[in-house]
Amino acid sequence: MARHPGAQAWVPEGAGITRLREAARSCEGCDLYREATQTVFGDGPEDARLFLVGEQPGDVEDREGEPFVGPAGRLLDQAH
């Protein structure tokens, strides 16, 4: 099992959401980048009162590049 440096090496100091999104595209801090086709980054207003953190994106999220568009997203839609 390969040892990775973690994401810290790819995180620009003092970065806002736009720079973090850009940095995530090239991150190789763990093995997730090996099989993924693209980065699935958060979506929504920066001043949201609530946010959800999910686990690694599933295949649907990976293909579409959007969070919570697969089975977990459908479950959230039903809860709405």
**Domains along the chain with CATH numbers:** 7-79 (3.40.470.10)
Record the pTM: 0.71
Query: How far is 72 from 2, CA to CA, in rounded Å?
Result: 30
* Of 43, 31, 48, residue with least CA distance to 73: 43
* Of 25, 19, 75, 34, residue with least CA distance to 52: 75
* Of 55, 14, 43, 8, residue with least CA distance to 27: 8
Task: Tell me the pLDDT tens digit for each residue of 9-48.
Answer: 999 999 888 899 899 999 999 888 888 899 998 888 878 9
